[in-house]
Structure 1
Amino acid sequence: MAKLLLSIVFATTILLSASAKKSGDVKELQIGVKHKPETCSIQAHKGDRIKVHYRGSLTDGKVFDSSYERGDPIEFELGSGQVIKGWDQGLLGMCVGEKRKLKIPSKLGYGDQGSPPTIPGGATLIFEAELVAVNGEPSVGDSDL
């Protein structure tokens, strides 16, 4: 009886610690708009070539990558699978100059394998993203017109 009770306490402790460790994890993509320009003259659609500044972190706050620190936004074709699925989905419809916070579940990120050594398997990813340009067109406020 004592062994059974000890086993139950041990199993409960393991489950609670695993649950606490994963408390910031999400099951579905979450999109939060942090800033939207007054006018939205250019939006990102599937097949567009877009430039995005971003900061990626884990749920514990540890930053694993940042284009801001490099001073060089990433450029890719939206919806073509060049980036993780969470980006292809989470940046659709974004206006040039808009800023979003994406909480991306592992299934739309790097999955169970992660991206060692910086991103563990099963990790929820948090991105602060800013759409800089679509098909080479910056926001109206950024142009030299």
Structure 2
Amino acid sequence: MEILQCGNGVDFPKAHDQIKVHYVGKLADGHVFASTRDRNEPYVGILGVGRLIKGWDDVIPKLSLNSKALLTVPPHMAYGSRGFSPVIPPNATLVFEIELLQIN
């Protein structure tokens, strides 16, 4: 994980918290497969209950509110050998620029 912008340093999400993030997801070759910024609609999810990829569940709790980070997620912490057809091939390493906007 590379921190691109420090957050408030106080508020960190934990398991079962609802989070709101903006993200740009890319394959290792730079191809963008998803972007909440392009849709202008942040993603809302629950941390630590198996609804997010493991890479997010493991790293997002280390980010404080308003942080921006660059995450490189290996296949075994993303979609593994099954991929996520048609946008993510099997065994793909994923790169996310993620901004933590809200914790509930």
Please state which band the TM-score falls in when normalised by the shorter chain. over 0.9
| Corresponding residue of 1:97 | 66
Contact 1:45–1:93 at 8 Å: present in 2 too? no
Structure 1: 4+ residue segments shifted above 2 A: none
Gaps of 5+ in 1: 1-30, 136-145
Which structure's residues are more often helix, by fraction?
1
TM-score (norm 2): 0.95
Which structure's residues are more often strand, by fraction?
2
| Corresponding residue of 2:49 | 80
The one of 38, 60, 70 equivalent to 1:69 is 38
Number of aligned pairs? 104
Gaps of 5+ in 2: none
1:1-40 counterparts in 2 under 5 A? 31-37=1-7, 39-40=8-9
Amino acid at match of 1:102: L
Deviations 1:111-144 (A, max 9, x none): 0110111111000000000000000xxxxxxxxx
In terms of Rg, which structure is larger?
Answer: 1
- Percent of paired sites with the same residue: 38
1:103-118 counterparts in 2 under 5 A? 103-118=72-87
Amino acid at match of 1:36: C
Q: Per the alignment, in what secondary structure is the counterpart of residue 92 of structure 2?
A: coil
| Corresponding residue of 2:21 | 52
Q: Per the alignment, in what secondary structure is the counterpart of residue 52 of structure 1?
A: strand
